[in-house]
């Protein structure tokens, strides 16, 4: 009988085995299942997970064998660990001079056939084998060898998981202390971050409102005067044109037969069409000038430049002014059909509030509603057919009423894409947005929430159904406290 050689890296190999802290441990189903599977794949009565210690081989898992260990000098596995890259196979130990007189061959368990796959650690140390044993000569196919190699990798993975778990348990007390300290620090940081975000929101809101005021002032200065000049003079121009057309008509009546040059000029300019179309043009110009005046007025009313404190305001006027400013997004575009605004205004009194900030809330919620509608009713699907075959078009419904608490209640709903459930808890968080990069800053709803809850002692909440739409509820006292 030949004694098994020692691997060149024996000291390091033994240290790698000790690191796993697995020797002389209890049976574990995870290893036993792999051993049983190896025996079944190779059709052998015995399969072992053998770990080669300094003076013995110890079986972490065994199938078909009662012994728990054998001396190392008798171990077939002690030979197998010396060739980490190959499977160690003994087809017939009785004909192999290395093992013919081995007690494990000539007596129980009568090892005649042996095939062992080294268990190689990630660092390259063979700490044992997964082996299959039979008490009669045989060979093993390449396919079954590959199965054994796969199982050996699983065994090493289990051992790695064991040692990681042990290390984790050893560190758990230290981690608990660290986590307790971190929780305290995190709470401290969260409090500071909350204060910072609140201050930042207020600063951004102030900057936005200041920019809006400056913009409105510029528009009022640059547009209002020339528009007023045009609008005021259109009345005079209309009167002058009317007089000139009357004079032309009278001239035609008195001098129906004009000279040839005048007749040619009249034909050239189509005087009959000019007489008919010119009043229409002036009327269109009048309508356009009025619209520009109304837009400027709406913008001034929206920003409420001269109202820094609370005062009684007409909420319906604020909503209508906000809608007018968003009209360009409501009209029919390449993206969608016209977004219909359904107003269901109740009989409500004037409300004491910060008008400009309330208008800002309307602007943010309506803008988000339009975004949701544009995403759902896109250029390829401008209308949707419901389950009962009704055609659904994009719409925003606005309801105002007095709540059961005698507060003002405003409901703004849309039939857009709705808010995904995973965003429910973050909708009012500062800087959170579900929109693509560059489209949203994550401030609109957060600022709106601060305006309603902090500035007006009210509530802002919503309900949503993904794919069907969202409804926001704004409730504020009619009179501020």
SS (H, E, C) 118-171: EEECCCCCEEEEEEEEECCCCCCCHHHHHHHHHHHHHHHHHHHHHHHHHHHHHH
User: Which residue segments constitute the domains of the chain, with CATH numbers given?
Assistant: 10-140 (3.30.450.40), 307-476 (3.30.565.10)
Round to whole Å and give the CA distance between 63 and 39. Answer: 7
For residue 364, CA distances in Å to 120, 326, 370 come to: 63, 11, 10
User: How many helices (H) does the chain have, and how many strands (E)?
Assistant: 12, 15
Per DSSP, which regions of 354-406 are E strands? Answer: 384-385, 391-392, 395-402
Residue by residue, pLDDT tens for the chain (481 residues) are 688 889 888 999 999 999 999 999 999 999 999 999 999 999 999 999 999 999 999 999 999 999 999 999 999 999 999 987 789 999 999 999 999 999 999 999 999 999 999 999 999 999 999 999 999 999 999 999 999 999 999 999 999 988 888 888 888 888 788 888 888 888 888 888 877 776 666 666 656 655 655 666 666 666 767 777 787 787 788 788 888 878 878 877 777 777 777 777 777 777 778 777 788 888 888 877 777 777 776 666 665 545 557 888 899 998 998 888 788 888 877 666 789 999 999 999 999 988 888 888 898 899 889 988 888 887 556 566 655 566 788 899 999 999 988 999 999 999 988 888 877 767 777 655 555 544 444 456 777 888 888 888 999 999 998 888 999 999 999 987 6
- pLDDT, residue 438, reads 43
Q: How many CB atoms lie within 10 A of CB 464?
A: 22
Cα 260 → chain centroid: 79
343 phi/psi in degrees, rounded to 5: -95, 125
């Amino acid at each position: 009988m030949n004694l098994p050689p020692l691997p060149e890296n024996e000291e390091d190999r033994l240290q790698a085995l000790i690191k796993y802290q697995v020797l002389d441990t209890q049976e574990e189903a995870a290893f036993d299942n792999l051993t049983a599977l190896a025996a079944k794949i190779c059709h052998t009565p015995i399969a072992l997970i053998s770990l080669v210690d300094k003076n013995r081989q110890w079986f972490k898992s065994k199938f078909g064998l009662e012994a728990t260990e054998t001396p190392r000098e008798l171990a077939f596995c002690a030979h197998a660990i010396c060739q980490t890259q190959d499977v160690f196979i003994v087809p017939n130990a009785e004909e192999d001079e290395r093992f013919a007189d081995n007690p494990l061959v000539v007596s129980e368990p009568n090892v005649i056939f042996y095939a062992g796959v080294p268990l190689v650690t990630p660092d390259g140390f063979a700490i044992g084998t997964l082996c299959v044993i039979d008490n009669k000569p045989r060979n093993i196919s390449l396919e079954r060898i590959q199965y054994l190699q796969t199982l050996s990798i699983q065994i090493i993975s289990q051992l790695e998981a064991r040692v990681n778990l042990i290390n984790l348990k050893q560190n758990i007390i230290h981690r608990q202390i660290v986590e307790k300290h971190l929780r305290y620090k995190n709470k401290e940081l969260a409090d500071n971050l909350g204060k910072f975000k609140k201050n930042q929101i207020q600063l951004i809101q102030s900057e936005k409102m200041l920019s809006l005021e400056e913009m409105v002032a510029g528009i009022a200065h640059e547009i209002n005067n020339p528009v007023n000049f045009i609008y005021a003079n259109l009345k005079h121009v209309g009167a002058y044109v009317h007089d000139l057309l009357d004079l032309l008509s009278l001239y035609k009546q008195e001098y129906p037969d004009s000279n040839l040059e005048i007749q040619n000029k009249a034909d050239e300019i189509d005087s009959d069409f000019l007489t008919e179309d010119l009043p229409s043009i002036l009327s269109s110009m009048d309508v356009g000038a009025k619209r520009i005046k109304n837009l400027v007025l709406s913008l001034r009313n929206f920003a409420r430049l001269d109202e820094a404190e609370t005062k009684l305001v007409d909420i319906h006027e604020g909503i209508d002014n906000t809608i007018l400013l968003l009209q360009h997004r409501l009209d029919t575009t390449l993206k969608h059909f016209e977004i219909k605004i359904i107003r269901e205004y109740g009989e409500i009194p004037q409300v004491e509030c910060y008008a400009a900030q309330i208008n800002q809330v309307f602007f943010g919620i309506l803008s988000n509603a339009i975004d949701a509608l544009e995403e759902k009713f896109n250029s390829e699907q401008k209308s949707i057919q419901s389950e009962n075959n009704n055609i659904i078009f994009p719409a925003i419904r606005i309801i105002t009423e007095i709540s059961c608490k005698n507060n003002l209640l405003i409901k703004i709903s849309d039939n857009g894409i709705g808010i995904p459930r995973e965003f429910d808890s973050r909708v009012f968080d500062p800087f959170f947005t579900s929109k693509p990069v560059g489209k949203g800053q994550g401030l609109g709803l957060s600022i709106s929430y601060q305006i309603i809850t902090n500035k007006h002692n009210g509530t802002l909440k919503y309900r949503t159904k993904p794919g069907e739409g969202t409804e926001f509820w704004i409730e504020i006292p009619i009179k501020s406290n």
